Structure 1
Amino acid sequence: MNLTDHRIPAEAFDALADGGGGGGAVRRLRAAQYSKHLLLIRGVLDVARELGHTSWARTRRAYDLLATLQTSHPEAVGRVLHHPSVGAWARHAVRSRRSPEQLAALAAAAAIHARTTCEVDVPVIAGRAMLPSLGQVAFPSGVTMATVHCWPEGAEVSAGDLVVEIRDDAPGWQRLRALSAESGGRRLNVLIDDLDPHRLPGASDLHGRLTDAEAARWQRLLDESWQLLVSHHEPVAEEVSAGITVLTPLTAPSTGSTSASSRDAYGCIALSDPPDPRTLAETLTHEAQHAKLSALLDIVPLTEPDDGSRYYAPWREDPRPAGGLLQGAYAYLGVTDFWRRQRRHETGEDEIRASAEFARWRAAARQVTRTLLSSGRLTEHGVTFVDRMGSRLDSWADEPVPAAAAALADGAAERHRARWRARHGNLN
């Protein structure tokens, strides 16, 4: 399977450090993640061979099928290998040296997208045969292997006497639902992945399958949120449409909402049920920042290896290592810019709250960039990157906010510092 050398030009690096980068930089990062997935998949094959795994022959056939389809149907293979859970599964398989047979499910999914004619044996795990980027088939207890039959007109999965068609609303088939939104000539296409066991590594708050009504609500919120982003935050909309392909539902916390992303599942944003379009727009902004930085870190190291040092983060309740601190600062650089723009489109109490968000995160992110620059835990490129982040935040320092908004921001920041001191002692 073909690999490409990836580099980040200086101008793209600088634009990313400023908090942006645009669609061009994001597409570079996305291409690098594709190569990362290819390397991991090759690693899965190598592990299976080294261990003399019982599924070695089947794993080799699956790899060869993927390689053939990459030549004849590159877009079909790309739809599967770009899927965020593929990277998470492949990394887990290489590190744990287990479950290489799932590679067959990737090959089957690519063959279905390509509408080619073939048969692929795939594993059934806990009663489910998961086909990344497509969906899953449910089987009775005791079934451990199924066969995917593909042809130009469609596909089906069989095990013994049970045959399940891969088509919408077919009994036994659950598809990943597709959401889309369009505004101002810009379009966003994402899948809701509420099925794949590798959709967010390490998460303990994954939501189960959304009902049709819940999925319809997410579509309505996405329509309104996308209109807001395109109208008022066009640079963010460009980056989100270029880099984000999957939304994964999380169980809502007792208060507020939550979101997350994983360096191993590039392109996936996990989030609880959004309360409103503006919150969803902020979440997309926040997590897209994490996605950009995580992908950049696979190309350019910005922090030194963790030496155990921990620091205060104004958005967390726990001390953070330098790498985690950088992730937070970069996310809140984007969040600050979001509220900087959004407050101009709000009125009354909403304008005060938006200005308070801008003021609080402007100060918090700048504080953390100073901490990072004095920590001694940044690489040479990391110093350059964080220094540009600080300069960007400094450029907004003189933008006034209403006194009521400043008071809200200062009060929230001080309460957080007080809680942190009570739990952890003096701030670093």
Structure 2
Amino acid sequence: MKVTMNLREHRIPVEEFSELAEGGGGIAVLTELSAAQHSKHILLVRGVLEAARANGHPDADVTRRAYDLLAAVQRRHPEVVGTVLRHPSVGAWARRTVKMLDGGDADAAPGQLAAVAAAAAIRSGTACEIDVPAVKGVVTLPSLGQAILSPTVSTATVECAADGTEVAADGVIVRIPRHPHRDAPGWKGLRSLSTQAGGMPLSLLIDDLDPYRMPGTANIGTRLTEHETTRWQSTLDRAWELMVRHHEAVAREVSTTITVLTPLAAPAQGQTSSSSRETFGCVALSTPPDATTLAVTLTHETQHAKLSALLDLVPLTLPDDGSRYYAPWREDPRPVPGLLQGAYAFLGVAGFWGRQRHLEQGAAAVHAGAEFFRWREAARLVTGTLHGSGRLTAAGETFTAGMARRLDEWSRETVPADARDLALERAEHHRARWLEHHA
């Protein structure tokens, strides 16, 4: 048996490529990019199976049985398997596992495919019994949550039946609730946030459990409390109302692209956020202080997600030659791929503030105008750096030319003197500090 892939070649038409380059894209191209990421995850899961077999991994047979179960569920419930395979942590786990298996890394965990299959079975109500790995007694079921067993347990059994699902090992039984996103004795569910504005819904999971939710992130956060979850929901309600009412095109892109939020530890001041090419659809962020900050964060990270997905289809930069450059939003010198990611993200941020500044009054209007001016000019500066670097492909030159067109258009918009002066002061302070450390 096999998972039916029905894969096709994913292409981005010239017109949609141009729209992406100018910071937009729309639902059609975002849907295509998301479909390409789904195809990538399917190929990676198949790659785990093949690499485990080819490298003689001890869990090769377990991986085969898990793949067969996933295939069985997929035949009757393809949409459920699609939901599980699209979960960001599944892609990160599969990619890393393939690389570790091919590199002979003893810590590779191809048997985690059993947990992926179990999650699909639970979601679809498919009756089955399958052994899944546990790490210090914790069983992670991607997109659902974690079962907590004895810390000495390394393997548990998931039994999915008509009357519910149990995870058992060494005499301990954890019953997963019928609504698995709720907590229960021994079970931690991934909670969800849902909101709606102007007839446009948004549903997001909070993944604060999966070990692969944002690999390599030093400031990964811990599980949100119920109070913190309520606060996130309230902030999301207000942010979504703002986005749908005044930034509708971006809101549609967010609803098509982002599926998961992952908490980060709070910085000393302000808010921090990040995304990863490994975890398409996931935004990692510390607790947003207000609705506008969350709206900007979603705008910023959606830009990263769009570009990362595009890069899987169209190479825009040449291999890194060691050159490093100034980025007005970073404290460290950046390679060309990093410059491109940053410039594209701040193209989106500048667009947000360009619209938002007309909604504000007083000090808030000055701040919004300053943000528009600063990030417009920063993105223009770096787009010029990219053009002069000699490290772009032909498609990359076309893409950055589209970015430059949009930024040049915005540069003709008048910004009040107080906002412009504030932006220049902040930009010059950053540049001086950077030169002090890196000149």
TM category (shorter chain) comes to: over 0.9
State the secondary structure of the residue aligned to 2:223. Answer: coil
Question: Per-residue deviation at 1:127?
Answer: 2.0
**Contact 2:358–2:365 (CA under 8 A) maintained in structure 1:** yes
| Deviation digits for residues 7-31 of structure 1 (CA, Å, limit 9, x no counterpart) | 1111111111010101211111111
Counterpart Cα distance in 2 of 1:278 and 1:126: 40
Work out whether 1:119 is the aligned partner of 2:129. yes
Residue of structure 2 equivalent to 1:224: 238
Selected match of 1:58 from 62, 87, 101? 62
Work out whether 1:163 is the aligned partner of 2:177. no
**Contact 1:115–1:153 (CA under 8 A) maintained in structure 2:** no
**Contact 2:77–2:124 (CA under 8 A) maintained in structure 1:** yes
Work out whether 1:373 is the aligned partner of 2:387. yes
Counterpart Cα distance in 2 of 1:128 and 1:264: 23
Residue of structure 1 equivalent to 2:310: 296
Counterpart Cα distance in 1 of 2:326 and 2:389: 12
Segments of structure 2 that go 5 or more residues without pairing to the other structure are: 102-107
Counterpart Cα distance in 2 of 1:333 and 1:403: 22
Residue type of the partner of 1:40? L
Residue type of the partner of 2:215? P
Residue of structure 1 equivalent to 2:279: 265
Work out whether 1:144 is the aligned partner of 2:130. no
State the secondary structure of the residue aligned to 1:395. Answer: helix
Question: Per-residue deviation at 1:215?
Answer: 0.5
State the secondary structure of the residue aligned to 2:166. Answer: strand
Please, which moves more after superposition, 275-284 or 44-53? 44-53
Q: How does 1:40-55 map to 2 (within 5 A)?
A: 40-55=44-59
| Deviation digits for residues 233-261 of structure 1 (CA, Å, limit 9, x no counterpart) | 00110000001000000001111110000
State the secondary structure of the residue aligned to 2:17. Answer: helix
TM-score (norm 1): 0.98
Residue of structure 1 equivalent to 2:256: 242
| Deviation digits for residues 147-181 of structure 1 (CA, Å, limit 9, x no counterpart) | 11112442111113111111133200000001011
Residue of structure 2 equivalent to 1:134: 144
Residue type of the partner of 1:320? R
Residue type of the partner of 2:186? G
Work out whether 1:412 is the aligned partner of 2:422. no
Q: How many residues are paired up?
A: 425
Residue of structure 2 equivalent to 1:353: 367
Residue type of the partner of 1:161? G
Residue type of the partner of 1:113? R
Residue of structure 2 equivalent to 1:285: 299
Selected match of 2:409 from 382, 387, 395? 395
| Deviation digits for residues 92-141 of structure 1 (CA, Å, limit 9, x no counterpart) | 11111111000000000000111111111100012210000000001112
**Contact 1:245–1:268 (CA under 8 A) maintained in structure 2:** yes
Residue of structure 2 equivalent to 1:78: 82
CA RMSD of aligned residues (A): 0.8
Counterpart Cα distance in 2 of 1:121 and 1:24: 40
State the secondary structure of the residue aligned to 1:190. Answer: strand
